Amino acid sequence: MLLVNQIRENYSGVLTGLQKRNFPHVETVLKTVIDLDDLRKHYQFQKDDFKAEGNSISREIGQLMKEGKKEVSDVIKVRSADIKERIKRYEEYNIKAEADLKALLYTIPNVPHISVPAGKTADDNEVVLENGVIPTLHADKLPHWDLIKKYDIIDFDLGVKITGAGFPVYKGKGARLQRALINFFLDEALAQGYYEIQPPILVNEDSGYGTGQLPDKEGQMYFADADKLYLIPTGEVPITNIYRDVILSESDLPIKNVGHSPCFRREAGSWGAHVRGLNRLHQFDKVEIVQITHPDKSYETLESMSSYVQGLLQKLELPYRVLRLCGGDMGFTSALTYDMEVFSAGQERWLEVSSVSNFETYQSNRLKLRFRGEDKKIQLAHSLNGSALALPRIVAAILENNQTPDGINMPKVLHRYLGFDMIS
């Protein structure tokens, strides 16, 4: 959530940034924010003014009672009662103005970093770099949805029987490949100084608001109505919410957490060949990295997290590219996002497998995630997260890129986790 002072003190910068996102009616919205804040301040001033007058009258009444001037005191008490009623009224006005302001701020996305390119769709994203060699496959190459049937390692029909579309069943070497990737990703993160967390996979409404899934993404999350809990769309939500309403010490920073979790996304309205097979699921596994940093170091941290994810893709021997997302394709809460895409040779297309984002103070303002500096001043921390990595499209690319007429070779880095080097 944006800070009102951020809008007041850098109005033109906020305006330009939100225009880059194609945020509708931006000038009207920002003006309304300032007007509501002015109104809130006015009500607060009036309330405080009447409180001061009421306190003065209370002291005067006390003095009159000591002096035995009850009749004069009773006259003044009438004014005191009127003041109390005004204080109550302005308190109600103030609460309403604060609620309206907060509700409006919740609808405004984060301001993009200056390096974010303008644009409306994924076609306008900027390719930062490409790495690796796109494999040349044999003439009878198959997409992964045919490969998994051929080798009987993932069963979509069985998933439909048990649950519904988008909930595959992993079997035999397919299940072992899942487990191998999870353990590989976790071990790599631990070696880089991340602290492992196994979070809950259901969260309350406060957690959804804290990291920005609410009120923006209600339609994308599964909701357990009886208990008012949401199934997590990503491990970022519970892991980052560990620090909700927390004041850290500057010496605690940076905080580096990693966690594996299943993720659940309704993905309403997703249809077509581009979401076939493992390309888009309602349930999938992901290893998430989260960092809480000093504001002065968050963009340095973002670059290091991007490099770390790239290192995983290099070890898996997957050709990839890094995109800087344009304003129109960025997530609601992000100030700058890098997407990592791998080339899946069976489909002959790029597949997104990771997003690494800096949220600056957008999440921490909602979370009230702060730290006390060496000067004893308290300020908002910066939060970042990244997929390291999401499994389905990684599995799709591994299967497609490494297929041979005799079977599917597994990346060497996974052999010790798998206990086999080929699916055949």
- What is the total count of domains within the chain? 2
Across the range 128-142, mean pLDDT stands at 95
Query: Could you give the CA distance from residue 160 to residue 168 in angstroms, rounded to a whole number?
Result: 8
Dihedral sign, CA of 55, 60, 64, 70? Answer: negative
Q: Is 317 left (phi over 0), alpha (psi -120 to 50) or beta?
A: left
The verdict on 375 and 268 lying in the same domain is yes
Is 300 annotated in some ligand binding site?
no
Of the residues 45, 72, 106, the one at which a domain ends: 106
Q: Quick one: which of 347, 355, 358 has its CA closest to 397?
A: 347
Residues 94 and 156 in one domain: no
- Which of 53-62, 93-102, 275-284 shows the lowest mean pLDDT across its residues? 53-62
Please tell me whether 265 is known to bind a ligand.
Answer: yes
What is the residue-averaged pLDDT of the chain?
95
The stretch 127-147 carries a mean pLDDT of 95
CATH code, 227: 3.30.930.10
pLDDT in tens, 40-95: 999 999 999 999 988 888 888 788 777 777 777 777 788 788 889 999 999 999 99
Say if 112 falls within a structural domain.
no
Instruction: Report the CATH number that the domain containing residue 50 is assigned in CATH.
Output: 1.10.287.40
Helix (H) or strand (E) holding 223: strand 223-224
**Cβ count within 10 A of residue 226:** 6
| Domain presence at residue 312 | yes
Tell me the residue length of the chain. Answer: 424
What sign for the dihedral angle of Cα 127, 212, 30, 335?
A: negative
Is 317 assigned to a binding site? no
Question: Same structural domain for residues 182 and 42?
Answer: no
To the question of whether residue 267 is assigned a binding role by annotation, the answer is: yes
Does residue 113 form part of some domain?
Answer: no
- Geometric angle at alpha carbon 304, from 303 and 306, rounded to 5°: 65
With a pLDDT cut of 70, the percent of the chain lying above it is 98
Q: What is the pLDDT of residues 160-180, one digit of tens each?
A: 999 999 999 999 999 999 999
Instruction: Report DSSP letters for 347-389, one per residue.
Output: TTEEEEEEEEEE-TTHHHHHHT-EEE-TTS-EEE-EEEEEEEE
pLDDT at 73: 75
- The response to whether 234 counts as a known ligand-binding position is yes
* For residue 318, pLDDT beyond 90: yes
pLDDT at 268 over 60: no
Residue 275: pLDDT band (50, 70, 90) is confident
What are the backbone dihedrals phi and psi of residue 378, each rounded to the nearest 5 degrees, phi first?
A: -100, 130
- Residue 331, C-beta contacts closer than 8 angstroms, at least 6 positions apart: 337, 355, 357
Please compute the mean of the pLDDT values over residues 267-290 and round it to a whole number. 82
> What's the pLDDT at 270?
53
Is 205 a member of any domain?
yes
Q: Cis peptide before 199, with omega less than 30 degrees from 0?
A: no
Domain of residue 418, residue span = 122-423
pTM of the model: 0.92
301 a known binding residue? no
The answer as to whether 45 is a domain residue is yes
Residue 246, annotated ligand binder?
no
What gap in Å lies between CA 44 and CA 208, rounded to an integer? 30
Contact between 360 and 332 under an 8 Å Cβ cutoff? The reply is no
Residue 412 CA to residue 401 CA, distance in Å, equals 14
Residue 385, annotated ligand binder? yes
Statement to judge: residues 92 and 199 lie in one domain: no
- For residues 39 and 155, membership in a common domain is answered with no
Which pair of tokens denotes residue 277? 């097979």
Mean pLDDT for the stretch of residues 327-338: 97
